[in-house]
Structures are given as structure tokens and as C-alpha cells.
Structure 1
């Protein structure tokens, strides 16, 4: 039997197909993050917020360096009015670029 206290309220009403779609979208976001890290691309705060599915202010308020899922996110520079970020993949206790 499923413990309903461990399920987010919005997930209770989702159908199986909707939950699978959310997971599929998550996997696609993680693959994109891996590609960004692998190629050493810099991304803007708004692009990073889109990738993380959060508001851009949630990205910029986190500081110079922080962890998101399997990546260390580092603020690398400012270009005009944009802050650019770099992702480094965490593998075990090590990071890769």
C-alpha cells in the first residue's frame, strides 16, 4: 500500500501518463544539463531558471556557487545585464567539466 503522506498533494490527482510525462521532461532537462556541462557552455540566469523550472530570481539569489542535483553551478561572469553560469557535473566526490 502507498503511504499518501509522502506524496505531494498535486501528484495524487495526476494520472499515470501525466506522472510519466513529468519524469520524461525531467530526464530531458537532465540530459540538457549534461550537454551544457560537457561542452563547457555558459548559460544565462533565465536559461538556467528554465532548465531548473524555477523563477530567474531564485537562480540569482543563490550566490556565486551552489549545487543543483548532480551539478555544481558557478557564476562565471557578467555580460552587460546578464549573469552567465557554468555547470560542472558531479560524479561521486569529483566534478567534471
Structure 2
């Protein structure tokens, strides 16, 4: 999986903002497979998920440890999912 760092955080934040500007009625889907990572970039992802108007679905595929689990619970409360062996 991908470690949470500044590079992936900047990419995800930019994509979420761009997609919400393009069409704020379409839900966003974030698939997570991460061993965790840096705190500040992870909080930036979490805060952006809370900021954008569309609901953000979070789906754990594989591993969501440490900061990965924090991002997972940042999804819309009724739209969080973990696959059976995640």
C-alpha cells in the first residue's frame, strides 16, 4: 500500500477539490490501502474530506493502519466500508 506523505496528500487534496468544483452533486470514492504515514499530510486529507460538499465514501482494501485508519473514519458516517479480509 501507499504510505501517507506530502506527495500523496497534495495529490488527493487537489483531486478532491477539483472534483467537487466540477460537480458537487457526485459522491467521491477513496479506496484505502495504507500502512499509515505522516500526521500533518494525513490531517490535510481528513480536513479536505470534511470540507468538500460531496459525500466521501471510504473503502478499505487490504490495510488501513495508523493514519490510514484515521482517513478511513473520515468518510461519510454511513458510507464507510472494509472488505472482508481487510
Same fold (TM over 0.5): no
Report which of the two structures shows the higher radius of gyration computed on alpha carbons: 1
Name the structure with the higher strand share: 1
1 or 2 for the larger relative contact order (CA 8 Å, sep ≥6)? 2
